[in-house]
Structure 1
């Protein structure tokens, strides 16, 4: 009834029955004794002194607006302050503005959702969101409801907001995220559990800024393989997202040594050529890792399966460094550039030689690897093989190959005549891959070699009366018919190359005693 005693009209008297009051200037709520609060009308009393069925408030709402204001607040704000879920529900059903902007005298602005989150009223928070409240709406200080629940240490409220689409990528005016505020309030251990629970259940956590929060980076850092498949199935997940340091999830996995996570990411198609803010890459981080070999093995397997994305992993180089013949063969069939240089200017052949992998060197050489190339330090495959502490077999393979190439190309040599009795003269000499040594067109100048050696034979020394029968550059060849032929190179090292090359071709060629001799218009 109103002051005139008539029923049905809007109540016009206000009483001080409430136990709550608040300061309009600051927005601060004060708990006071009954009768000491700000005077307000019957509808406000019906909210605070709630009748279980809600009939009284429902009848009063026939005469007052659910958005009736008092000191900058509405009935809904008062219902939240009183933690009256039923009243909130009734008011929202009656059309109360769920996003009414509460403004204080000193310039603060916040919404009913912020008020509920600040007190940790989880059920009311969920109710407001179900009625269309935007979970990421901000206060004047850019704080969200999630941040306010984190500051207050309200775990259940935080979880409800998180699963309702609250954005973990936002920060307030102080640059603090919800997770940072949870850490400051001592809630972080509970929040971590909430995050992992969400990951395991496949719940999608929202983050508009991966520099602040990225679920993929969190999982990569923790190395939790169990939740990764669920996470990767979410359409919102970008494999190549980079954090504030420019790190991709793969880079984080390498830095923290989580091999299984890295393998899943690589096989899922992550780009390994991404660059961090300080120039870091997956490869540069691998080189610092205690698990470098294992990480590179994962990448090599991915490259062989055509799953690797990114241009800066030299799969052929890694296979060569490991001496993996099967991988080398497969990669060469795929068209990998055999003489490509890595970031240190090394070819695959150089790396195999340095590691002492003789068979890998042999395979690469047969496939066309250039042994003449040098790296940024001026080192060749041969010089690296000579420095190797693993094995000298690679040096031998390289020397054999170089020598064979050398004699197939041919060059000028002094040829001694009549087994040392005659005067030597220049000849263009070369070896054919059939084992035939030629220095002219006549039949006697095309001989099938049986063996070669450095120095001179006893017969040559006996016939060669002059001093110099044992010159450093002299070497001999024995033909299949037993004939001795002596040549002289300009230096002992050249003579050694000739001998090594001739013997290598003799060993590798299939020569029969009935080979028909031909005039020397041969091709090498």
Structure 2
């Protein structure tokens, strides 16, 4: 794949999009000497830069000027060092001041994936209303919804779901948006996803579920939200239970929440270990052992 060669005017467009300088962006695009779809050597467009930066007015201007809203980066690189030049128009003279600016882009990214990841809800709204593909995927399968869930952007998540995003669409490694939100401790995101039909027991390739990961991390708010939807408390495909994970985390409140939901402390993992075998924490052992002796022996 070949990209359009970078030019001083194209770099000026990037700078204006990055800084939110709408007047300069309009001046450059209206000159007829630079394309709204100009790209750097990594395939990054000005629309992506404006979306990343959250500059709503610049995003609208680029779309109005014909920028390709669904253009997707394809070059195989995990990061692109984009060196931008700062341009000032002084009495029809173009003055160039070189300043480096580094952006981190992921392969397969679009303006919508970038705006979703950084929580720019007004930009997301504009992109969706102008035909952005809500089912865009990075090369690893991550969708805009997945990226918003990872970063905890509730408003963006609601926008994407209302536009038809698939709540259970997983990344290539089997990680669903709910699992990722649970790992990151975003309890409000977990609540929204569950209410919109997220599979509470969806597991990754490693066999862990959202509840297991939340228990392992000690994210009690997430555990509380998940327990409202009666997730599995039994043995998972990874050969363990959420209670084992909570005990390993050392978080007493996580253990109490799961015991209160009737998690079984006498259920062994694949190594024939009870949850109580995985800790030396006296406070946790004190709540586990009466359950073993009195209710599950």
Task: Note the C-alpha offset of 1:402.
Answer: 0.9
Are residues 1:230 and 2:120 paired? no
* Matching residue of 2:82: none
Query: Are the counterparts in 1 of residues 69 and 132 from structure 2 also a CA contact under 8 Å?
Result: no
Report the Cα distance in structure 1 between the residues aligned to 2:219 and 2:2, rounded to whole angstroms.
58
The residue correspondences of 1:473-488 to structure 2 (distance < 5 A) are none
Query: Are the counterparts in 1 of residues 175 and 203 from structure 2 also a CA contact under 8 Å?
Result: no
Are residues 1:402 and 2:292 paired? yes
Which protein is richer in helix relative to its size? 2
* Matching residue of 2:110: 214
Query: Are the counterparts in 2 of residues 349 and 371 from structure 1 also a CA contact under 8 Å?
Result: yes
* Matching residue of 1:243: 138
Are residues 1:384 and 2:265 paired? no
1:302 to 162, 170, 192: 192
Gaps of 5+ in 2: 11-27, 75-108
* Matching residue of 1:373: 267
The residue correspondences of 1:261-340 to structure 2 (distance < 5 A) are 263-267=154-158, 268-269=160-161, 270=165, 271=167, 273-276=169-172, 279=173, 281=175, 293-294=184-185, 296-303=186-193, 305-306=195-196, 308=198, 311-312=202-203, 314-318=209-213, 320-321=215-216, 322=218, 324=220, 328=223, 331-339=226-234
Report the Cα distance in structure 2 between the residues aligned to 1:251 and 1:282, rounded to whole angstroms.
7
* Matching residue of 2:88: none
Gaps of 5+ in 1: 1-140, 163-167, 169-177, 410-524
* Matching residue of 1:355: 249
Which protein is richer in strand relative to its size? 1
Query: What's the TM-score, normalizing by structure 2?
Result: 0.54
SS in 2 for 1:227: helix
Q: Relative to structure 1, is the Cα distance of residues 200 and 272 closer, same or farther in structure 2, using a 3 angstrom cutoff?
A: farther
Query: Are the counterparts in 2 of residues 349 and 369 from structure 1 also a CA contact under 8 Å?
Result: yes
2:40 to 163, 180, 184: 180
Task: Note the C-alpha offset of 1:179.
Answer: 1.0
Q: Relative to structure 1, is the Cα distance of residues 323 and 397 closer, same or farther in structure 2, using a 3 angstrom cutoff?
A: farther
Task: Note the C-alpha offset of 1:367.
Answer: 3.9
Query: What's the TM-score, normalizing by structure 1?
Result: 0.34
Query: Are the counterparts in 2 of residues 323 and 352 from structure 1 also a CA contact under 8 Å?
Result: no
Task: Note the C-alpha offset of 1:217.
Answer: 2.1
Task: Note the C-alpha offset of 1:382.
Answer: 1.2
Query: Are the counterparts in 2 of residues 286 and 292 from structure 1 also a CA contact under 8 Å?
Result: yes
SS in 1 for 2:279: helix
Higher relative contact order, chain-length normalized (CA < 8 Å, sep 6+): 2
Query: Are the counterparts in 1 of residues 178 and 210 from structure 2 also a CA contact under 8 Å?
Result: no
SS in 1 for 2:39: helix
Q: Which has the larger radius of gyration?
A: 1
Query: Are the counterparts in 1 of residues 47 and 62 from structure 2 also a CA contact under 8 Å?
Result: no
Q: How many equivalent residue pairs? A: 229
